[in-house]
Amino acid sequence: VAAGDVDGIDALMEPLHPADIADLLEQVSDGERESWLALWSRGIDGEVLSELDWGLREEVIALLPGDVLADAVRELDSDDVVDLVEDLEDDQIEAILEVLEPADRVAVEQALAYPEETAGRLMQREVVHAPEHWTVGEMIDYLRAHAGQLPEQFYHVILTDPRMKPTGYVTLGRLLSSARQTPLQDIVEDSFRVIPATQHEDDVAYAFNQYHLISAPVVDEDGRLVGVITIDDAMIVLDEGAEEEILKLAGVGEESSLSDRVLETTKQRFPWLFVNLITAILASLVIAQFEDAIAQIVALAVLMPIVASMGGNAGTQSLTVAVRALATRDLTSSNLMRVVLREGVVGLINGAAFALVMGIVGLVWFGSPALGGVIAAAMVINLFVAGLAGILIPVVLDRLNIDPALASGAFVTTVTDVVGFFAFLGLAVVFLL
């Protein structure tokens, strides 16, 4: 790149898959990326743009010459164009829509009219469908006659009634292995699900995952076929969902990525650290109530972080299991009571086990059976409370329509810190002073 060897770059990049080219662009530094694009913009096709992290897309699109961008965008299916433009600035969207064929432009604009994160945004409008009275032979003749206009990938033919309502679908495998005179009606699949265009993409992804769908027809509010969602779209949603959940649980902005700038990253992480500061100060206020006790027995200051830390970890275990189960819809009102009970009992048992360990540590280290007893009792209390808080807080947040992955951590930590310090120092005041 440094030598400006365009043919060399060509030879190097030619055999790469668009997804790998996108990864390469994400991993080089900003300066390298710019000189790369200046030299080799003709290699950036639509698929590479689709594969880029959305933070970088805007930047790369701005750097591309107009004709390269136009070619890149024109070759994409309508759902990929929608995915490409939906996070861009308005003037960039306008510039991209302008270069599309009128029909594609209308398709993209209609998709953008659906709310964000709905099936309408995910679907592609290129659908292979047929009247329900056709035979296999008629279908094959139709497909041969329209070979040029078919979507790049399709897995089913959707049967529609005269009002364009989908009534069933036929897999291409059945179509290929049936005699020409077979009516399509005779080889439709048993199970058949339609997706409303306004359904949330998380529900779409759940249906694909739960029922192992490969593609599913999308219908408008009148039940008419308007598009199709294929598994690759659903997989992206699932993948992003899991990614977001991990990042939210850790208090990192849900859309953070390695190619973000320092300032962006700092801003994403600041709010969660700030919430944690409030939590920590609350815990300190609890400790401040016991300043006299600590001044008299400094060992309390030495041991108190252990109780809080164990509670925090046990709470994180329970809350992660709860957040996961809520996300996968395995935690419902029918098993909630049993799960809460289980977390409470697990907390008690582990609490008792660590109470024993810490009682001995307290006794051996500080030579005080009473101190050992106090830390043991505080451990049982805090691990029990941690188990219950870890399950109940996410469930309550979920009922209140607050994202449990995002908010549970702060609440649970507050509870375990406050309870941990209060139980340990409070018991110490009662039994040791």
Please report, as residue ranges, which positions from 343 to 382 form the binding site for a copy of itself (by CB under 8 A). Answer: 345-346, 349-350, 353-354, 357-358, 361
What are the backbone dihedrals phi and psi of residue 277, each rounded to the nearest 5 degrees, phi first?
A: -65, -45
- Which residue in the set 124, 279, 382, 416 belongs to the binding site for a copy of itself (CB under 8 A)? 279
What end-to-end distance do the CA atoms of the chain give, in Å?
73
Q: Read out DSSP for 154-206?
A: --EEEEE-TTS-EEEEEEHHHHHTS-TT-BGGGG--S----EETTSBHHHHHH
Alpha-helical (H) ranges within 28-161 are 30-40, 46-51, 54-63, 66-74, 78-85, 90-99, 102-113, 119-122, 136-145
Query: How many chain residues touch a copy of itself (CB under 8 A)?
Result: 112
Segment contacting a copy of itself (CB under 8 A): 60-68, 92-100, 105-113, 207-215? 207-215
What are the backbone dihedrals phi and psi of residue 138, each rounded to the nearest 5 degrees, phi first?
A: -60, -40
396: Cα separation from own chain's centroid: 21
Cα–Cα distance between 288 and 351 in angstroms, integer? 26
- Smallest gap, in angstroms, from Cβ of residue 163 to a copy of itself? 25
Taking CB under 8 A as the criterion, which residues in 98-117 touch a copy of itself?
none
- Which residue in the set 37, 229, 249, 395 belongs to the binding site for a copy of itself (CB under 8 A)? 249
Distances (CA, A) of 180 to 137, 140, 146, 282, 290: 4, 8, 18, 75, 86
Taking CB under 8 A as the criterion, which residues in 319-338 touch a copy of itself?
319-321, 324-325, 328-332, 334-335, 338
- Smallest gap, in angstroms, from Cβ of residue 66 to a copy of itself? 27
Determine, following the binding rule CB under 8 A, whether residue 238 of this chain makes contact with a copy of itself: yes
Residue 167 or 276 having the CB closest to a copy of itself: 276
The single-letter code of the amino acid at 331 is L
- Smallest gap, in angstroms, from Cβ of residue 40 to a copy of itself? 17
- Smallest gap, in angstroms, from Cβ of residue 260 to a copy of itself? 8
- Which residue in the set 94, 113, 116, 210 belongs to the binding site for a copy of itself (CB under 8 A)? 210
Residue 95 or 205 having the CB closest to a copy of itself: 205
Cα–Cα distance between 40 and 68 in angstroms, integer? 11
Segment contacting a copy of itself (CB under 8 A): 38-46, 55-63, 195-203, 270-278? 270-278
- Smallest gap, in angstroms, from Cβ of residue 409 to a copy of itself? 9
